């Protein structure tokens, strides 16, 4: 199962649409709770992706600095 922002966002949108179409209060409430949960998961997935990209950029910059320092030492 793909755990990406897009996956979670799509599920949240589906739950929102189901809530909108629901005629029974308990079904509407269930779908609204599901939407809230999917949105939270989507936001968490986005945060993880952004943090991962930031960490990779920092590591790449550190490697470049180390390579430059090693070249200067030679």
In the predicted structure, residue 2 carries a pLDDT above the cut 90 = no
Domain segments of the chain: what residues?
Answer: 5-73
Under 8 Å between Cβ of 35 and 19: yes
* Range 46-52, long-range pairs (CB < 8 A, 24+ positions): 46/5, 49/4, 49/5
Q: pLDDT (tens digit, 9 = 90+) per residue, 12-69?
A: 999 999 999 999 999 999 999 999 999 999 999 999 999 999 999 999 999 999 999 8
């Amino acid at each position: 199962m793909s755990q990406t922002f897009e996956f979670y966002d799509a599920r949240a949108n589906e739950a929102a649409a189901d809530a909108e179409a629901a005629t029974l209060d308990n079904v509407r409430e269930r779908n609204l709770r599901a939407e809230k949960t999917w949105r939270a998961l989507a936001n968490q997935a986005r945060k993880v992706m952004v943090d991962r990209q930031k960490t990779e950029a920092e590591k790449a910059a550190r490697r470049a600095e180390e390579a430059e320092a090693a070249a200067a030492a030679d």
